């Protein structure tokens, strides 16, 4: 085998040198050297592939492409019959070249479509059809279309092998069609030599790429080994797509076993029905410790290799374990969110009860005491006594106001009785600067309304104390199942949520209801707080 390949190689060397001498001579290497390199590249790559992969016809086809590449150079030989034949067979090399791409990597045309396309390629190669720019564009499109169809129809190892053929066909078709289009649109003097050099370079790349693919044979391997590692970081919803690409089966489906329901479900929780016998689909059940954990529904040709089946089984087991682990973590997250919500609701309920007790208890008693003092003021005889009673009334009034503000801070009664708009109006009435309030949309659920109120209360209080602002705007808009609360001022800015517990507490309250809180505070340009809360108040 080695001696035969050596003789073929020496023949290729001699043929190439003779062809270049006949056509170009040795005067200007810029003409003959790229042409020689194109033919020798195919011959050399073909001999290497032939020796390393003798079961494939790819090597012989590459070598044949290289040998026939030099045929056109003999069109200028002195023998008339030889010159005529060479002139009419200048595109002879494109016959094996087309077969090389269409039948890669085996070199054997498989389907009827491929056999027909190869026949068209050889027919065009022994005529002058390739010499027509329009015909070249059509044939290039045909080459790409056939390769694309074969890739789409293939599965498993064949699909992975056809990917290289599709890439080679795309590159070759693009170069052929591009050069033909340039010759149609531009003067021949501007296109001739540069386009030929581009074409020759593209052939070098094509030969090297096809040889590399033949030697490495990535279609004999899969990405499953790497996938087993990557699944540790992947979301369960991406496992089907990753396995599908790794195995070359776009129709692959994955079902995860739910013991409590005794069914397989997909990543969306939908029941996955297993195909019946004779449906043309195969089912691979993945087990762990004798218990089913997942099922793969795939093309029968995908998992013919036992080693590949073992690797896929490991990947699917890890995917199933990750899915279950994520389900458990999600359940814990939901439980924690529900617990936070219960704590928040319990705190608000305790605030309401305390506010009610203050209003009905201490505040009512203080009201009765104030009425008693007013009656005593009318019946008092001495000036000093009336002065003392008036002073007591003043102190009592101040105490009632403080008590009212305390009750308002615990939970404003007006919020529960009249809604958020009136509660914000009462809140803004006591501030020493103008506040513009706009509330639009539907009635808010109590937890969401309370969050919006306390957010506004904290922001307005901070602005009045620290911002040196001239005005404040408050906007509450409820629409499409969410409410947005925005408070903006024109003060000094520099608000930092990390420096105070108020904004941190608001952020926790908003997050408990499934919302987000943003704080923008630019020095000299004011502060803006914006919260987005779902009306259902459900944590995400």
**Percentage with pLDDT > 70 across the chain:** 72
Question: What is the secondary structure of 119-156 as a DSSP string?
Answer: HHHHHHHTSSGGGSHHHHHHHHHHHHHHHHHHHHH--H
What's the pLDDT at 230?
A: 47
Residue 53 three-state SS: coil
CA dist., res. 391 & res. 140, Å (int): 104
**Nearest Cα to 72, choosing from 118, 13, 131, 121?**
131
- DSSP-assigned letter for residue 271: B
Over residues 45-66, mean pLDDT? 93
Q: How many CB atoms lie within 10 A of CB 3?
A: 7
* Alpha carbon 483 to chain centroid, angstroms: 29
Over residues 79-103, mean pLDDT? 87
Q: Are strands 291-298 and 253-258 parallel, antiparallel or unpaired?
A: antiparallel
The single residue listed with the structure tokens 């008092």 is 380
What's the pLDDT at 539?
A: 44
- Residue-wise pLDDT tens digits, 440-461: 877 788 888 888 888 888 888 8
Over residues 154-182, mean pLDDT? 87
- Do 14 and 155 lie in one domain? The reply is yes
- Residue-wise pLDDT tens digits, 108-150: 998 899 999 999 999 999 888 888 899 999 999 999 999 999 9
* Alpha carbon 53 to chain centroid, angstroms: 39
- Do 471 and 501 lie in one domain? The reply is yes
* Alpha carbon 449 to chain centroid, angstroms: 36
- Residue-wise pLDDT tens digits, 291-349: 777 788 887 766 655 555 566 666 666 666 666 666 666 667 666 666 666 666 666 66
- Do 332 and 423 lie in one domain? The reply is no
Note whether residue 389 is domain-resident. Answer: no
- Residue 468 is part of a domain; what is its CATH number? 3.30.565.10
CA dist., res. 203 & res. 167, Å (int): 13
Note whether residue 409 is domain-resident. Answer: no
Query: Sheet containing 253-258: which strands, arranged edge to edge?
Result: 263-265, 253-258, 291-298, 282-288
Res. 365: pLDDT tops 70: no
Note whether residue 369 is domain-resident. Answer: no
Res. 175: pLDDT tops 90: yes
Q: What torsion do the CA atoms of 25, 31, 34, 37 make, to the nearest 10 degrees?
A: -10
Highest mean pLDDT among 45-49, 248-252, 312-316, 509-513: 45-49
Res. 540: pLDDT tops 50: no
What's the pLDDT at 258?
A: 77
CB 292 within 8 Å of CB 285: yes
The tokens for 447 are 């937890």
CA dist., res. 72 & res. 447, Å (int): 85
- Do 266 and 216 lie in one domain? The reply is no
What's the pLDDT at 170?
A: 95
- DSSP-assigned letter for residue 253: E
CA dist., res. 296 & res. 286, Å (int): 8
CA dist., res. 79 & res. 85, Å (int): 10
* Alpha carbon 425 to chain centroid, angstroms: 46
Bridge partners, residue 265, by sequence = 256, 271
CA dist., res. 189 & res. 439, Å (int): 74
Q: Write the CB contacts of 20 (distance below 8 Å, at least 6 apart in sequence).
A: 26, 32, 35, 36, 70, 73
Question: What is the secondary structure of 406-456 as a DSSP string?
Answer: HHHHH--HHHHHH-HHHHHHHHHHTSSS-EEEEEESSPPPHHHHHHHHHHH
Note whether residue 522 is domain-resident. Answer: yes
What's the pLDDT at 303?
A: 61
Compute the Cα dihedral for 508, 510, 512, 514 and give only its sign.
negative
What's the pLDDT at 128?
A: 80
At 168, phi and psi to the nearest 5? Answer: -65, -45
Is 522 or 227 the better-scoring residue by pLDDT? Answer: 522
Is 241 or 50 the better-scoring residue by pLDDT? Answer: 50
What's the pLDDT at 501?
A: 53
Q: What is the domain extent for residue 504?
A: 415-534
- Do 437 and 488 lie in one domain? The reply is yes
CA dist., res. 446 & res. 206, Å (int): 69
H-type alpha helices, 435-516: 446-462, 501-512
Q: Which of 157, 188, 220 is the last residue of a domain?
A: 220
Q: What's the domain count of the chain?
A: 3
Compute the Cα dihedral for 376, 380, 384, 390 and give only its sign.
positive
Res. 515: pLDDT tops 90: no
Res. 48: pLDDT tops 90: yes
What's the pLDDT at 517?
A: 87
CB 125 within 8 Å of CB 95: yes
- Do 119 and 38 lie in one domain? The reply is yes
What's the pLDDT at 308?
A: 57
- Do 42 and 167 lie in one domain? The reply is yes
Res. 537: pLDDT tops 70: no
The tokens for 499 are 């420096």
Note whether residue 272 is domain-resident. Answer: yes
CA dist., res. 425 & res. 439, Å (int): 10
Note whether residue 346 is domain-resident. Answer: no
What's the pLDDT at 508?
A: 78
**Nearest Cα to 415, choosing from 448, 464, 442?**
448
What's the pLDDT at 232?
A: 45
- Do 213 and 254 lie in one domain? The reply is no
What's the pLDDT at 205?
A: 94
Res. 229: pLDDT tops 50: no
Element housing 11 (H / E) = helix 2-23
Note whether residue 372 is domain-resident. Answer: no
* Alpha carbon 279 to chain centroid, angstroms: 33
Over the chain, what is the mean pLDDT? Answer: 79
Note whether residue 185 is domain-resident. Answer: yes
Q: Which of 171, 197, 220 is the last residue of a domain?
A: 220
Q: How many CB atoms lie within 10 A of CB 193?
A: 11
What's the pLDDT at 456?
A: 86
- Do 230 and 214 lie in one domain? The reply is no
- Residue-wise pLDDT tens digits, 12-43: 999 999 988 888 887 778 888 999 999 999 99
CA dist., res. 495 & res. 239, Å (int): 45
Bridge partners, residue 298, by sequence = 282
């Amino acid at each position: 085998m080695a001696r035969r390949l050596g003789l073929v190689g020496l023949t290729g060397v001699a043929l190439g040198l003779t062809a270049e001498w006949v056509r170009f001579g040795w005067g200007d290497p810029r003409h003959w050297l790229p042409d020689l390199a194109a033919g020798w590249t195919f011959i050399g790559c073909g001999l290497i592939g032939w020796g390393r992969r003798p079961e494939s016809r790819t090597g012989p086809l590459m070598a044949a492409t290289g040998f026939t590449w030099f045929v056109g150079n003999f069109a200028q030989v002195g023998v008339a019959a030889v010159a005529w034949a060479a002139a009419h067979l200048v595109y002879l090399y494109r016959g094996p070249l087309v077969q090389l791409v269409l039948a890669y990597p085996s070199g054997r045309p498989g389907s009827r479509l491929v056999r027909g396309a190869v026949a068209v390629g050889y027919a065009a190669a022994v005529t002058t059809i390739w010499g027509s720019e329009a015909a070249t564009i059509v044939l290039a499109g045909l080459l790409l279309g056939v390769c694309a169809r074969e890739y789409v129809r293939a599965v498993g190892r064949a699909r992975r092998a056809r990917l290289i053929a599709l890439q080679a066909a795309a590159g070759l078709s693009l170069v052929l069609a591009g050069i033909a289009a340039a010759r149609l649109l531009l003067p021949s003097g501007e296109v001739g030599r540069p386009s030929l050099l581009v074409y020759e370079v593209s052939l070098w790349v094509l030969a090297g790429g096809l040889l590399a693919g033949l030697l490495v044979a990535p279609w004999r391997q899969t990405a499953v080994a790497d996938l087993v590692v990557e699944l540790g970081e992947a979301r369960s919803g991406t496992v089907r797509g990753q396995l599908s690409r790794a195995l070359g089966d776009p129709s692959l489906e994955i079902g995860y076993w739910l013991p409590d329901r005794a069914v397989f479900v997909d990543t969306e929780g939908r029941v996955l029905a297993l195909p019946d016998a004779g449906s043309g689909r195969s089912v691979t059940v993945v087990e762990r410790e004798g218990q089913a954990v997942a099922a793969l529904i795939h093309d029968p040709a995908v998992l013919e290799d036992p080693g590949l089946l073992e690797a896929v089984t490991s990947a699917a087991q890890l995917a199933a374990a990750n899915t279950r682990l994520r389900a458990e973590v999600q359940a814990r997250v939901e439980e924690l969110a529900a617990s936070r919500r219960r704590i928040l609701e319990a705190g608000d309920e305790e605030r309401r009860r305390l506010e009610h007790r203050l209003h009905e208890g201490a505040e009512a008693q203080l009201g009765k005491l104030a009425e008693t003092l007013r009656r005593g003021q009318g019946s008092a005889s001495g000036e000093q006594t009336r002065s003392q009673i008036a002073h007591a009334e003043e102190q009592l009034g101040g105490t009632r106001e403080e008590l009212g503000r305390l009750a308002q801070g615990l939970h404003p009664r007006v919020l529960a009785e009249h809604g958020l708009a009136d509660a914000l109006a009462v809140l803004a009435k006591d501030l020493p600067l103008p506040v513009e309030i706009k509330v639009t949309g539907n009635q808010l659920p109590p937890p969401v309304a309370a969050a919006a109120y306390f957010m506004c209360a904290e922001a307005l209080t901070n602005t009045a104390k620290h911002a040196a602002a001239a005005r404040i705007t408050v906007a509450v808009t409820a629409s499409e199942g969410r409410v947005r609360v925005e408070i903006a001022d024109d003060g000094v800015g520099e608000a930092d949520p990390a420096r105070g517990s108020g904004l941190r507490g608001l952020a926790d309250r908003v997050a408990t209801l499934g919302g987000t809180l943003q704080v923008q505070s630019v020095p000299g340009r004011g502060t803006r707080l914006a919260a987005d809360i779902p009306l259902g108040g459900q944590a995400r």
